[in-house]
Amino acid sequence: MKVSHTPLQRVGQRIAVTNESHIEINYNLCKPKISFQFLAEEQLKNCEVREKSEVLTTLYRISQHTWQELNQLGRKSGGFELIPLMQLRCKSPNNEMFSESSKAVVFHHATKIPLIGFHYEDIFYIFCIDRDYKAYKH
């Protein structure tokens, strides 16, 4: 792609080209992608069918909004809350991608099963399904 040599050329709301080899993406304007990379398999196996359905419904709802919209919704209206890692009782992943993060993202479904994870770029990495409400002080 041929790019002019202006310091910043707008391509769209989410993407800006800063030079020929660097493209900046505003991930807050992207819809979340979901990753189960750091979720222990037993957490999903321990869920009842109803709980799995609720988790899937929550993930679908999350995927319909941008990160910016989810942030504006607030935790009780379909958005999320941030919980300091020090307050979590569940194990967070020991991964350098999250080493600088001091807070976990928590989404709630209408039935209140919290999904706990990290937001990195446009990806929500789930590492805990708090089905018994013991992962942090509610």
Q: Record the pTM.
A: 0.80
Residues in CB range of 136: below 8 A, 6 or more apart: 83, 87, 88, 89, 90, 106, 116, 130
Q: For position 81, what pLDDT does the model report?
A: 92
Count CB neighbours of 22 within 10 A: 9
30 SS3 class: coil
**What tokens were used for 105?**
């993202």
Tell me the average confidence (pLDDT) per consecutive run of 10 residues in the chain, 138 residues long: 44 61 87 95 92 91 95 87 89 72 83 87 94 86
